[in-house]
Chains A and B, each alone.
Chain A
Amino acid sequence: MPRGRLGPLIEFRNVGFAYDHEQVLHDLSFEIGKGEIVGLLGPNGAGKSTTIKIIAGILAPGGGTVRIDGLTLPEQAVDVKQRIGYVPESAMLFESLTGQEFLELCGRLHEVEEVVLQHRIRELLDVFELSSERSSRLDTYSKGMRQKVLIAAALLHNPDLILLDEPLSGLDVNAAILIKDLLAALAADGKTILYSSHVLDVVEKVCNRALIIHKGRLIAEGATADLKASTNRSTLEEVFRVLTGSEQANPGVARIVAGLRS
């Protein structure tokens, strides 16, 4: 498999994307270096999931250039997919498979050697406290358990780049702490992580840089400390509210309550 050239792991240059006639991304540009752990922030409909899907080779960009480790998308999508781990926003799984079978499928599709694969599956299921459920069908798993399976599937083949779209969704506090620690350890081990989330305090703790997009445009990027300093705010959530224009309490809230009373 060809190795990429030295430089940023993710290059996203002037990328546009539209669903039907609705433009979702407008000339979006950013770079992410190797070993970085970057938060991708933005309100609902900002284009976060679309951005991650383009990087994962699931969607073809409508314009601009996307390179992952020197490989161009969508032309070299299969090669890119070999080296990414992706946790999608919604827990889409083959419900009739067991946890063990699903992980085996994902590992084999990435050509992980069988002995190594079985060892990793055992380890991951054990750490995620799913060992006792390994032979149960996924349609019997809770939301949090399904999310753990997705995270395990994304790590099985030891990818260089990990894309996480709301990875803590449905996880209990202990599991969320485990994932946060795991991400920090993976980043320390040289993995590059792009982490999309609405939970800003997690991004603040886990990521060393943040990209904030709004209506498909990059409105801020930088180290989380720099973002707070430049906007004179003490938390990333306050920074986010300033940048996305949602500082005031939403008047719609009062209208809903009034409507329910009537």
Chain B
Amino acid sequence: MNAVAAALRGPAASRLLAGFGVDPKRYWLLMDLFHTMSERGEMMDQLGRNGVALNTAAAMYALLSALITAFALLAKARPVPYLAGFLFFTAFLFLAVLLSEAGNSLVNPVEGMVLAHQPITGATYTAAKLSHLLRIVLWLTPALDGVPAFAGLLLKGAPWYYPALHLGAAFATALLITFVCCSAFGWLMRFLPAKRLKAVGQFAGMLPFAGSMWMGQMFKGFQRLRPEQWLPANPAARLGLGAAVAVAAIAVVAQGIRSLSADYLIRVSAMMKGGSRAGATVRRSGAGAVVARLFGGQPARAAFAYVGRLMLRDWQFRRQFLSTAAPILFGIGSALATGWKLDPFAGSFSPIHFAPHGLGMLMIFVAALLPFGSDHKAAWLFQLVPVPVISGFAAGTYAPMAQFLVIAHAVEAPFLVWRWGAAHAALLLAFSGAASFVYAGLAVRMIEAIPFTRIPNPQRAAITLPILLLAVFGIAIAVALQHFVLFRSPAAVAAATVALAVAAWYAGRSGIRALAVSMRYQLAESSGESGSLYREVDA
């Protein structure tokens, strides 16, 4: 290991770095700095620099790919579609992970403000910033493709060298995706004002999911262009055209990567001052007063306003939420867009069955990400809060989630009433509302600290995607039960709704209490007092 480290810092590697315009001495100084900061917990928000997060993500991806491999083997897949399917899966997941990671690294350079006046070239700085992407590739590629590569030997007709072929192709795909992600940010930096980059960066992680939603339409659009009519018929000419397109693509990617290095440190200050101004206008509504009355006075109102506004404005929360919850958001949109036309009581399957589970998963993702925020250093403010106020504050934290679910169902209502009639619509909405509130009650219990008071943890974001993919199986079973058992009879749905409503009430109440205990424990812990004392007092 020491020999590898010595070789990496040796004259040959230094010459290579210098060839790319990177100053080797400062590059390694920055690499050592980032490593020390990660080890000491100061730079925790990047997956590639957080060993625990990376190992957890690798384990989750390995489990997921093992499941898919088992299905593929049972389905007796043939080697070529098997390899192509896994390469597509690898490309898709790396695109989702690396776009988000590159965005976080490049457009949110928290350490950049300290280093901005140091004599470091843009190429050196961006090279050091992006090196951790290669670590992600080195960790996650074997996790994603190790099992399918070796299991591929069991496929009928697979050659003896199949594992090497599969892993080689997977690494090449992952590296290609890495370069594409870096290049995309290079082009953005070239054309976007620095202060807009942060705002755009938070949407980067959503792109692969948005792309997958419209992939079918894009494919159909391409087919409508009738490529067979205008592509050259001669195979050699086609090959030439393909080569020309490949060269152009490589040039675009290379130019994008070059753009990354230009005057990067000059843009850091403007980037850090940028970001989303969404919802920054002062709005007053009656909702705060309602929350104060229902959930616990002014502390609940304070939490409602604080959580509701920072969910819209906190850059780290928005970035992690948009990149991890994108598949759910698109799933809910798709379920509602197609499902409202099909009455689930009419016998045929309606995608609207997915909506309450989608909304519920959204609540769980919000809860998992809520403790982390860009301005976590402002957590001292809560040290000054009198402890009895915390219960109301915890209830107020639940309120924006409840508000969202109520609004979501209220928006659905007119469409469903118009299409299905009042009785069926009311029953479905009541069932969906009760089910999603059960999720919300469970979700609020999962919030482990006062919202936005902890340094962002990439582990959460990294494991949410595989967890979601695994949760799809559970949701599929629940939806099947709804369709085949419950929605055969309105009476059964009504009974299930009552049971779910009771469960939601208890889940919400106990969840809020659990959150209040977590908040008190956090405050006690950070003020150096005994956390267990607060647990005992609360009990």
Choose from B119, B195, B263 the contact partner of A82 (Cβ within 8 Å). Answer: B119
Could you tell me the distance in whole angstroms from the C-beta of A1 to the nearest C-beta in chain B?
Answer: 10
Contact between chains at A105 and B29 (CB < 8 Å): yes
Q: Verify if A58 is at the interface (C-beta below 8 Å from B).
A: yes
Could you tell me the distance in whole angstroms from the C-beta of A85 to the nearest C-beta in chain B?
Answer: 9
Q: Verify if B266 is at the interface (C-beta below 8 Å from A).
A: yes
Contact between chains at A95 and B42 (CB < 8 Å): yes
Contact between chains at B118 and A110 (CB < 8 Å): yes
Choose from A19, A59, A81 the contact partner of B118 (Cβ within 8 Å). Answer: A81
Q: Which residue of B lies closest to A58 (CB)?
A: B116
Contact between chains at A110 and B119 (CB < 8 Å): yes
Choose from B26, B36, B263, B273 the contact partner of A60 (Cβ within 8 Å). Answer: B263
Contact between chains at A77 and B263 (CB < 8 Å): yes
CB-contacts of B70-111 with A (<8 A)? 111
Choose from A19, A57, A79, A93 the contact partner of B117 (Cβ within 8 Å). Answer: A57
Contact with B along A94-117 (1 / 0, CB 8 A): 111100010001101111000000
Q: Verify if A217 is at the interface (C-beta below 8 Å from B).
A: no
CA distance A92 to B36 in the complex (A): 17
CA distance A86 to B114 in the complex (A): 11
CA distance A108 to B118 in the complex (A): 10
CA distance A88 to B117 in the complex (A): 9
Choose from B29, B37, B120 the contact partner of A96 (Cβ within 8 Å). Answer: B37
**Neighbouring B residues of A108 by C-beta, 8 Å:** 25, 29
Q: Verify if A74 is at the interface (C-beta below 8 Å from B).
A: yes
Contact between chains at B36 and A101 (CB < 8 Å): yes
Q: Verify if A40 is at the interface (C-beta below 8 Å from B).
A: no
**Neighbouring A residues of B266 by C-beta, 8 Å:** 57-60, 74, 77
CA distance A132 to B121 in the complex (A): 35
Contact between chains at B121 and A56 (CB < 8 Å): no
CA distance A131 to B201 in the complex (A): 43
**Neighbouring B residues of A105 by C-beta, 8 Å:** 29, 33
CB-contacts of B105-133 with A (<8 A)? 111, 113-121
CA distance A40 to B40 in the complex (A): 38
CA distance A223 to B37 in the complex (A): 46
Contact between chains at B263 and A94 (CB < 8 Å): no
Contact between chains at B119 and A78 (CB < 8 Å): yes
Contact between chains at A109 and B120 (CB < 8 Å): yes
Could you tell me the distance in whole angstroms from the C-beta of A111 to the nearest C-beta in chain B?
Answer: 7
CA distance A82 to B265 in the complex (A): 14
Given A78-B119, A78-B121, A81-B119, the answer on whether A96 and B36 have CB atoms closer than 8 Å is: yes
Could you tell me the distance in whole angstroms from the C-beta of A118 to the nearest C-beta in chain B?
Answer: 16
CA distance A99 to B185 in the complex (A): 35
CA distance A105 to B33 in the complex (A): 8
CB-contacts of B260-310 with A (<8 A)? 263, 265-270, 273
**Neighbouring A residues of B26 by C-beta, 8 Å:** 109
CB-contacts of B18-68 with A (<8 A)? 25-26, 29, 33, 36-37, 40-42
Choose from A79, A84, A111 the contact partner of B25 (Cβ within 8 Å). Answer: A111
Q: Verify if A53 is at the interface (C-beta below 8 Å from B).
A: yes
**Neighbouring A residues of B273 by C-beta, 8 Å:** 19
Q: Which residue of A lies closest to B34 (CB)?
A: A94
Given A20-B195, A77-B265, A105-B33, the answer on whether A96 and B42 have CB atoms closer than 8 Å is: yes
Contact between chains at B118 and A92 (CB < 8 Å): no
Q: Which residue of A lies closest to B43 (CB)?
A: A96
**Neighbouring A residues of B263 by C-beta, 8 Å:** 60, 74, 77
Contact between chains at A109 and B36 (CB < 8 Å): no
CA distance A47 to B273 in the complex (A): 15
CA distance A58 to B40 in the complex (A): 27
**Neighbouring A residues of B116 by C-beta, 8 Å:** 56-58
Could you tell me the distance in whole angstroms from the C-beta of A228 to the nearest C-beta in chain B?
Answer: 33
Q: Which residue of A lies closest to B33 (CB)?
A: A105
CA distance A95 to B26 in the complex (A): 20
CA distance A97 to B42 in the complex (A): 9
**Neighbouring B residues of A78 by C-beta, 8 Å:** 119-121
Q: Which residue of B lies closest to A81 (CB)?
A: B119
CB-contacts of B192-218 with A (<8 A)? 195
Could you tell me the distance in whole angstroms from the C-beta of A104 to the nearest C-beta in chain B?
Answer: 9
**Neighbouring B residues of A93 by C-beta, 8 Å:** 114
CA distance A74 to B264 in the complex (A): 11
Q: Which residue of A lies closest to B277 (CB)?
A: A20
Q: Which residue of A lies closest to B115 (CB)?
A: A109
CA distance A8 to B36 in the complex (A): 41
**Neighbouring A residues of B267 by C-beta, 8 Å:** 60
Contact between chains at B269 and A94 (CB < 8 Å): no
Contact between chains at B37 and A94 (CB < 8 Å): yes
Could you tell me the distance in whole angstroms from the C-beta of A185 to the nearest C-beta in chain B?
Answer: 23
Q: Which residue of B lies closest to A74 (CB)?
A: B266
CA distance A118 to B25 in the complex (A): 18
**Neighbouring B residues of A94 by C-beta, 8 Å:** 33, 37, 42, 111, 114
Could you tell me the distance in whole angstroms from the C-beta of B58 to the nearest C-beta in chain A?
Answer: 25
CA distance A95 to B33 in the complex (A): 12
Given A77-B266, A78-B120, the answer on whether A92 and B25 have CB atoms closer than 8 Å is: no
Contact with A along B294-328 (1 / 0, CB 8 A): 00000000000000000000000000000000000
CB-contacts of A64-97 with B (<8 A)? 74, 77-79, 81-82, 84, 86, 88, 92-97
Pick from A74, A96, A101, A137 the residue with the most CB of B within 10 Å: A96
Choose from A53, A84, A92, A137 the contact partner of B114 (Cβ within 8 Å). Answer: A92
CA distance A108 to B30 in the complex (A): 10
Could you tell me the distance in whole angstroms from the C-beta of A79 to the nearest C-beta in chain B?
Answer: 8
Contact between chains at B195 and A53 (CB < 8 Å): no
CA distance A105 to B266 in the complex (A): 20
**Neighbouring B residues of A109 by C-beta, 8 Å:** 26, 29, 115, 118-120
CA distance A23 to B254 in the complex (A): 36
Q: Which residue of B lies closest to A75 (CB)?
A: B263
Could you tell me the distance in whole angstroms from the C-beta of B467 to the nearest C-beta in chain A?
Answer: 30
Pick from A20, A84, A94 the residue with the most CB of B within 10 Å: A94
CB-contacts of A200-251 with B (<8 A)? none
Which residues of A are interface residues toward B (Cβ below 8 A)?
Answer: 19-20, 53, 56-60, 74, 77-79, 81-82, 84, 86, 88, 92-97, 101, 105-106, 108-111, 137
List 12 additional contacts besides A56-B116, A109-B115; criterion CB under 8 Å.
Answer: A20-B195, A57-B116, A57-B265, A58-B116, A58-B117, A74-B263, A78-B119, A78-B121, A79-B119, A97-B40, A109-B26, A110-B118
Sample (19) of A-B pairs whose CB atoms are under 8 Å apart? A20-B195, A53-B269, A56-B117, A57-B116, A57-B117, A57-B265, A59-B266, A60-B266, A60-B270, A79-B119, A81-B119, A81-B120, A86-B117, A96-B37, A97-B33, A97-B40, A105-B33, A109-B118, A110-B118
- The 9 A-B residue pairs with the shortest CB-CB distance in the complex, in nearest-first order: A96-B40, A96-B42, A81-B119, A86-B117, A58-B116, A82-B119, A56-B117, A109-B118, A60-B266
